[in-house]
Each structure stands twice: as C-alpha cells, then as structure tokens.
Amino acid sequence: MVSVTSHSLLFLAAIAPLLATSEEFIRRGDASGLRINEFKVLEGHTTPDDFHSPLPHEYIAEEDLPESWDWRNISGRSLLTHSLNQHIPQYCGSCWAHGALSALADRIKIARGGVGDDINLSIQYLLNCGGGVAGSCWGGSHSGAYEFAKKNGPLPYDTCNPYLACSSDSSEGFCSAIDTSCSISNICRTCSTFISKGGTCSGIDHYPNATVAEHGTYNLLTFDRVHKIKAEIYARGPVAAGVNAIPLLDYKGGVIKEGGILDMIVDHIVSIVGWSVDEEGDEYWIVRNSWGQYWGEMGFFRLSTGSNLLGIESTVAWATPGYFTVANNVPCGEGGGGCGGREGDNSGPHLAQYYIDPSINLEAVKRGLREGRHHML
C-alpha cells in the first residue's frame, strides 16, 4: 500500500511558498483587483496518496486510449452528476470541495452504470467538519478532501446536509448567524415541521452515505502525466485538478491554447471530465467548473493538453469509492426517527453497493477498449 509518496511530499513542499494563506490575496488584474487563493494545502493534510490497486496507466497503453472521451456523452447519455455553483447563497472559496466531491460522485454514477437517481455528496459536511485537513470557505485542497473522507468516516448525501456556503471561519452573508460546527446535527439533519407547530430539527444517526477506498495524485513530478491522467479518467472517471482561475474570469468559450508562466500558479480546483480533438487536430481537456451554468460553456471550459496550461496538469487528485448507499433497508420517519434495523437484522438501516476497481478485471477493460465501449457500461 502507498501511504505517502516521496513525489507527492516533494511536490507539496515545492509549491508551498506559492500558496496564499487565508489572509492573503492575489492582485492579478481581475475585475476587483483582489482574489483569494482558494487552493491551500493545510498542515493536517499529510497523506496525499493512499492506494494499493494498480493505476490505470499501468494496464492501459496510451495508444489504446480513444481519440476522444467525454463523460457528458457516452452513447448519447451523460454519466456526470449535476453542475454546481460554489458562490451562492454567498461567496465561499470551496472550489476544492466542489471539484473533489463532484468527481467522486461522478465515479459513483459511472460504477452504477448510470442507473438510479444521482447520488450527490454533501459539500457542506466537508466545510463543517474538514477544517485543518480538507479546508474551509477560505480555501483548501482536493487531495485533502479525499484524505479527510477516507480517515474520518462516511460522506452524507446532500439531501440531509445541503450546501450553505458557510464555514466556522466565514462571516460572509448569513454565515455568522448559523452554526457550522461539526456536530451530529451538522452532519445529517432534518426538521419535523414548523417550530410554531411544535416541530424540532435534529441530527440523524443513520443516513445514506458513501466512503473513499483509495486516493492519489498526479503532479509536475509525474512523468508522462497526460497519458496517466487520460488513463485515469477513462478507466475510473473524472478527476479533480488545480487551475489558475484569473484567465477564466471572463472566459466566453472555445479552446484555451495560450498562457504565461504566472498563469500556471494554481489558485482554484475544478474537475476534468474528458478530452477531445478540435478541427485543427489539437487535443484539449474538457473541464467542469463550479461557477454555475451561466458561466462559460454551460459551466465547462476547454484548454489544450500537454502544456500544463493554467496549471491544469500540475495538481491532479483522484479517489475511488469504497461503498455507497443504494437503498434504505429500514427507512427513517419524516422527522428522522425510526432508522434502526429490524430486530435480528444485522445488515443495518441501509443497503450498500461496493465499488469494484477496474484492475480486478483487466480482460474486461481491454475488451472494452477493442470494442469501443466502456468496461463498466
């Protein structure tokens, strides 16, 4: 098992001087003149890599990958979960959580073959509980989110912990008026009825959830990283990635093909969902942002591969699910009570599906590549 790779630690040490603290801002010609750096590697984040399964590039040759692969359109259907906007109901620098959990939720959807309702993971849970390792509204890291999720138990679904765009260190909007501490009621909760009618809000002990089994990174010290990132995306699903957001502020569409050295300094986290080739024969990444669908190409943007434009290939993180709830064995009541399992039933209140890594069945992967289809579908 890989716990902390020397490559990842060396990389984190190398970029640390470039990362702004929560009190610092980057003055780089955006509309306001001031932008917070939302990418922060916190002191509690010590394990960027923790995996044992073979990596996809070890069993998928670059020449065997398709010319284009887009998880938004697999045989006419999208296997991505819904697009998000980190900036409402007030500003919060939680791109790291959005990029990380969107990619993980996508991988769960892919593992299910796109069957059933989408499973969307609670970003607010990471904001409530992940400070010190993952991040807050003042920034964090995608790899820190994955480490926190693996080490600190399951991620609740967002139906019992919706996004509020607040953390305990934020006073933006209504944040100073609400409790975002890591309590039971701030992990998963519901309210029975109006308070004037005798209703209460309370935490739920048993709730649908998902876990992280393995996680890892690709960075500037990774050799042949375009092949490795593409193999990772093809085999297991979207990845979270760092990018410089300044050139994206007024992005109007098209493939970004130019950028300077300073534009490679990462200050924002997104997710790469595929790649393709334009009419000029140039390959590009397909990337999802967390600024809403009013922005860019319905919330997405494209930029060339292979040149680390905007730092897109310098700070990539991935995670695989462990298990995820697919059905209620004993549904809770409206007020959140009565969730325990039946007498004598040790299976618990929820039924889970376990993730199977593609490396378990390499013949299926290779057959899918030969036949032009994906092994999970």
- Catalytically active residues are 95, 268, 289
Q: Report H helices in 89-222.
A: 95-111, 123-129, 142-151
Residues recorded for the chain = 377
Partners of 70 in the β-ladder? 274
Tell me whether the omega of the peptide bond preceding residue 89 falls within 30 degrees of 0, making it cis: yes
Strands 239-243 and 283-288: unpaired
Q: What angle do CA 307, 311, 312 make, to 5 degrees?
A: 80
Report residue 318 as tokens: 């991935």
Q: What angle do CA 99, 18, 252 make, to 5 degrees?
A: 50
Q: What does the alpha-carbon distance between residue 12 and residue 145 come to, in Å, rounded to a whole number?
A: 15
- Give SS3 for 102: helix
Q: What does the alpha-carbon distance between residue 324 and residue 115 come to, in Å, rounded to a whole number?
A: 14
- Give SS3 for 361: helix
Q: What does the alpha-carbon distance between residue 289 and residue 283 come to, in Å, rounded to a whole number?
A: 19
Q: What does the alpha-carbon distance between residue 207 and residue 163 come to, in Å, rounded to a whole number?
A: 17
Report residue 208 CA to chain centroid gap: 18
CA distances from 99 to 96, 238, 282, 283, 364 (A): 5, 10, 25, 22, 29
Q: What does the alpha-carbon distance between residue 23 and residue 319 come to, in Å, rounded to a whole number?
A: 30
